Structure 1
Amino acid sequence: MADLEAPDRIETLGADFFADPHAHYRRWRADGAVRQVRFPDGVVRWVVLGYAEGRAALNDPRLRKNAEHATALLNDKRGLPPATAGHMVLLSNMLNTDPPHHTRLRKLATRAFTPRRVAALRPRIEEITAGLLDAMAGRDEVDLLHDFAEPLPITVICELLGVPFEDRADFQRWTRAIVSVSGENDESYTQSTAAMGAYLSRLVAAKREAPAADLLSALADPADDGDALTDRELVGMAFLLLVAGHDTTVNLIANGTLALLRAPARLHALQAHPEAIPDAVEEFLRYDGPVNMATLRYTAEPVTIAGTVIPADEFVLIALSSANRDPERYPEPESLDPDRDATGHVAFGHGIHFCVGAPLARLEAQTAFAALLSRFPNLRLAPAADTVTYHASTLMRGLTALPVLLD
């Protein structure tokens, strides 16, 4: 079994990692499928890099997600006081719980967030997409991130959940602070979690008092067996669906567009054969997906991964971006190839925590790419795109801007 890394050999994540995590992952995978990495908050975490190892870890019950224990453990390692109530209420969702609590929450969520409900959104998604493209038409250059990739999923999730669209700027700002790399050491993080928690608490109270024909109102209703989400659980569920329901799809559309525009032959082939767009979206997810590393897990007991024993009470992160470019699973993984069989990628996770919103993200992305490539056949990167930058987040893989030329 492999030995633990010597403290002086543990790399610390810096700006170069956020600029190009794939370069780090290639180098790290050459040394093994799991390694220790020091994050900007000073805490060392274990990062799982290989596809087979990552897929197994995503569904390993020994890697826990209990939010209260994980937060207490993280704050202890950071030397910080206990988390605030406002912080913890946002974490009271199914992504941060273990069975049987997770099983109950996911059951209550999926009874309202059904495939039928998602499929019924198609005409409205197409309408929103067409309207955004109409607004872009006639301009030589646009920022495709802010003019298209962001407003499409934000509008959809606001309408789906029953969130006032005029509040989007606030929760976008809060979301960016919450998923940033600085985390709880940053004052903007603390302020944003408090503001988001208060906002969603008011929204939940309003839905309880005056239900409407939206998903959040449906989630507030008891199930057929009488079980129902508490106010705290409903706030946590709203946070998960609101943040995951828009930020990941923003990144999927923007990252996929950038990858495609950097491969003109692939772009032209897809324009000639739009029926291949659903498969291309799966390749975009594999090649440069919206989530860099899966959310935090910790060991409840010593766990062996790839021959390395990880002690109890250690944090483990599965690098989805690395797993999806593991050459043991995907030949020539550094090449964008919409014709490849990208099935089995872990961009949406795997196991009991597989993304409940994956069907909606796929529908939005397929609609977005079909309309965008048809409407602007001469779409290409603007000169400023040579120096695109990414947000400093270990969780999300998202651009700060995407300048393009339309004609």
Structure 2
Amino acid sequence: MIESVKLRRDSAADFYSHYEYLCALQDSVPLPAVRACLREGVLDFNADRLRVVDWAPLLNTLKVNKNLPLISIKSFFQPWLGDTVSDRSRVCRSRIPAVRSKDVSFQLCKALKGCLSVSGALKNLELNGLVLRERDLTILTKGLNKSTSLVHLSLANCPIGDGGLEIICQGIKNSITLKTVNFTGCNLTWQGADHMAKILKYQTMRRHEETWAESLRYRRPDLDCMAGLRRVTLNCNTLVGDLGASAFAESLSEDLWLRALDLQQCGLTNEGANAFLKALETNRTLVILDIRKNPLIDHSVMKAVIKKVIQNGRSAKSEYQWVTSPSVKESTKTARQKKKTIILGSGRKGKATIRIVFFLANSYPKLLNQVLLCFFER
């Protein structure tokens, strides 16, 4: 066997070994952030920690790999948070991670396209907080069109906007395996919601045709085995509004397959909620319609919507659960990590310095006051 062919086959079967080999070729070692979960068959890392030179061996291994079931690549970089204007020009270049550059993000999507095209094991692809441009999404879509195994796709907190979602939808609509998509915090408006609603309509029409063909053969169609989306998550897109809700409601009135739709913090009012109520008069398959954290919806209307979907769920075996809003988790995590040093008074032994960890300070203001009171009493 030709050596290059053997090497390619080995790399497709064992991600870690080939990644280690390529790192050795450039006199480096596998990054702890990357290799942490590889022994369990999972690629899960913070992309902000990688330099430009670190990406080459990783991407060259990724594009031919066939055995990873889950790929999760995250970026938490927030440019210039807390910096003054004078600080930005001095430190912006050194702070910006390599993954934010046009070339690295394109090469990453190119490698993912290769992996999606050849892998029969990849079921979950999560890209969180990455800046993906039009050409990145275009090449990623080509991989989605060729994938034969992907079940879950998440682009949460990637600011792709309505135009980017329209590109991704071209890879979603004809997928035979994709069941759930997550576009939380993607800067979407009602137009993005309309793109997703059209995908649901397209898949509904295609499945009705398949159902009709099965009935002509005197067979009872198995709706659960048919291809198409089962869950759509668009939380934290505040400009979706009632126009987006109405687009979804129209597609849901004749849909028999979608099980869950998440629209937390999407700027909905009573008008959008009532549109969903009307759709639920004919829809009996939707078991989760999450419109919580839309403060402009009256409590009575919210209760009526939730009551309807709960009634739908009683007659079905539901594998879908109500999710906690991502913004709540992120704010809690941030609050727990915040630390401040406060200098309080002075005494015979010098200044007393107390490091106070403000975990959930907003939730426990009385506890914080008691800590300060105890200090002053001493």
TM-score by length of 1: 0.19
User: Which structure is larger by alpha-carbon Rg, 1 or 2?
Assistant: 2
**Larger fraction in helix:** 1
TM-score by length of 2: 0.20
Work out which structure has the larger RCO, using CA pairs closer than 8 Å and 6 or more positions apart in sequence. Answer: 1
